Amino acid sequence: GAVVSQHPSWVICKSGTSVKIECRSLDFQATTMFWYRQFPKQSLMLMATSNEGSKATYEQGVEKDKFLINHASLTLSTLTVTSAHPEDSSFYICSARDSGLTYEQYFGPGTRLTVT
Amino acid sequence: AQSVTQLDSQVPVFEEAPVELRCNYSSSVSVYLFWYVQYPNQGLQLLLKYLSGSTLVKGINGFEAEFNKSQTSFHLRKPSVHISDTAEYFCAVSYTGGFKTIFGAGTRLFVKA
């Protein structure tokens, strides 16, 4: 099956610094990737839709200047959390969409971000 | 507005007992339906999906779900659960005319010995 990887799996950073999370589709091309945020014991909240070669589409209430998304190739999307604060600590999950007609998404293993 | 409702936030059940996790969605258009499982500190794994055809869908790990269009439901079932089935389960829907996937709030399945 299709595999999506994320790197790093966990990261600790100091308040005010920036951190980049990578999402890769390993054995298929993904014109669209999604970034989610998940708080403990809660569901996934869609943050943005990342389209290869164009600007990301952010959901209402998500700060585009804080959560920078770049989808530079058909297999890589990155999420950069800029000027991180403790309230940005969360589990970030990406997914890549099957380019066929199934509308199925393949999820990465997630990245645990802790801002101290 | 489009939405997915998982009717139970937590479902405790004894090992080898049957279980049903309920999911209802709102839609006036055709949908694709999914169930995902999430183990602690991991991403989501697809259990099964309904795209079209037979309304009874079989997935991995002995799970199955039935699509009921008239009741707009997609309940997940397993006839006999194991301790290892303890996890968070998410119901999700994609609308065929749309692009996004909407997730339910999740149901915590807790299997007791």
Q: Which residues of B touch A104 (CB under 8 A)?
A: 32, 34, 46, 49
- Per-residue pLDDT, B1: 66
Which residue of chain B has the CA closest to A110? Answer: B43
Burial of A21 (0-12, 13-18, 19+ CB in 10 A): buried
Measured distance CA(B79)–CA(B69) in Å, rounded: 23
Confidence of residue A39 (pLDDT cuts 50, 70, 90): confident
Residue B2: strand, helix, or coil: coil
Q: Which residues of A touch B108 (CB under 8 A)?
A: 41
Confidence of residue B51 (pLDDT cuts 50, 70, 90): confident
**Tokens representing B12?**
């405790």
- Give the B window 85-104 contacts with A, CB below 8 Å: 90, 94, 96, 99-101, 103-104
Alpha-carbon Rg of chain A, whole angstroms?
13
Write the residue in B43, B96, B103 that is nearest to A43 by C-beta.
B103
Residue-level length of chain B: 113
Single out the residue of B28, B14, B39 nearest to residue B93, CA to CA.
Answer: B28
Write the residue in B43, B46, B99 that is nearest to A110 by C-beta.
B43
Contact A50, A69 (CB under 8 A): yes
- Per-residue pLDDT, A34: 92
Overall average pLDDT of the A76-88 stretch: 96
**Tokens representing A91?**
């589990």
Which residue of chain A has the CA closest to B98? Answer: A103
Overall average pLDDT of the B13-32 stretch: 91
What are residue B69's phi and psi, to 5 degrees? -65, -40
**CA distance, residue A105 to nearest chain B CA (Å):** 9
Could you read off the pLDDT of A4-34 as tens digits, one per residue? 999 999 999 999 999 999 999 998 888 889 9
Report the amino acid identity of residue A40: P
